[in-house]
């Protein structure tokens, strides 16, 4: 697995981590499907559901993410500044230009999605554009474009599939027994149902840990690649500091809704009191990211 042809600096550690994560998740997926086949004794149901969710999540991940975040693709006439920045960055990086979308929400964030560079979408919120200066916005967009160039957006999309299907299988098993007739709701059925739930919970927990380990590193890699592309790590550091303070002031209800997509966001949607959520965060701490950018500034011979 290699990065898209571009001038983004390759990250061999990121590539190795993605390969290991996909390999381990693949083994976990095979074990998960095998356990469900034994428990549910319905090959057709398990295979059809698993295949349908995987295909839909991979091929339609960009549409699903935009729909969930109420994003809409915008033209150059609608957002000339945004298009201009992305055009310059893509020309500098020598990479395909993604579609550009805007989500009309006060939550200050951005994310990239899509199965590859030719089918990528870069989405920013109106809250982000309103808060950032042009050089800070450029740093954030360069960070997101590096996710596309390194292909880690596609990997995270596929990796998160396992947790999604685990939840769907549990719901299917639960409702099929609830509405399947009184005669079927015997002791054996309950044992099967509890077995499915236990296996799904274990699979979700393991996939959760694997995704978190990859996600934290990929954010540091994107910070580095984006900062090197623009040559202004201080602008990205300024954006991080500003957004980390502002996002804590967003209403808790909006943060809870958005937190399901934290693995894709530029900055996680957490409030000040979410200490437990931060413990299992998909992102490094603000201090770790700022330290990394300070080192890049030193490498470039510029003040942080």
CA distance 149 to 143: 10
CA distance 82 to 85: 5
Q: What is the distance, to the nearest Å, from the Cα of residue 94 to the centroid of all Cα atoms in its chain?
A: 24
What the block records as the tokens of 295 is 């080192």
Q: Is 83 annotated as a binding residue?
A: no
Q: Is 119 annotated as a binding residue?
A: no
CA distance 259 to 257: 6
Query: What are the catalytic residues?
Result: 144
Residue 72 β-bridge partners? 102
- List residues forming the annotated binding site for Zn(2+): 143, 147, 219
């Amino acid at each position: 697995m290699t990065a898209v042809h571009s001038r983004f600096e390759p990250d061999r550690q990121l590539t190795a981590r993605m390969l290991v994560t996909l390999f381990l998740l693949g083994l976990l997926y095979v074990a998960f499907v095998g356990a469900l086949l034994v428990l549910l004794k319905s090959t057709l149901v398990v295979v059809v559901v698993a295949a349908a969710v995987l295909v839909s999540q991979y091929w339609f991940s960009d549409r699903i993410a935009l729909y969930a975040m109420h994003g809409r693709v915008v033209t150059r006439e609608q957002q000339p500044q945004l298009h201009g920045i992305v055009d310059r960055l893509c020309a500098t990086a020598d990479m395909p230009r993604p579609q550009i979308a805007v989500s009309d929400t006060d939550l200050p964030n951005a994310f990239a999605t899509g199965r590859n560079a030719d089918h990528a979408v870069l989405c920013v919120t109106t809250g982000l554009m309103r808060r950032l200066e042009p050089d800070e916005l450029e740093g954030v967009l360069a960070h997101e474009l590096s996710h596309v160039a390194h292909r880690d957006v596609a990997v995270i999309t596929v990796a998160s599939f396992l947790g999604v299907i685990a939840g769907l299988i549990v719901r299917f098993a639960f409702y099929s027994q609830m509405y399947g007739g009184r005669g079927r709701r015997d002791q054996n059925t309950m044992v099967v149902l509890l077995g499915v739930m236990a296996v799904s919970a274990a699979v979700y927990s393991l996939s959760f840990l694997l995704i978190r380990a990859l996600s934290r590193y990929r954010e540091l890699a994107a910070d580095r690649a984006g900062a090197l592309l623009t040559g202004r790590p201080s602008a990205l550091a300024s954006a991080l500091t500003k957004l980390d303070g502002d996002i804590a002031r967003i209403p808790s209800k909006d943060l809870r809704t958005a937190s399901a997509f934290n693995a894709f966001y530029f900055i996680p949607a957490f409030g000040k009191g979410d200490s437990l959520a931060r413990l299992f965060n998909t992102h490094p701490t603000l201090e770790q990211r700022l330290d990394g950018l300070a080192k890049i500034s030193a490498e470039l011979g510029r003040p942080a």
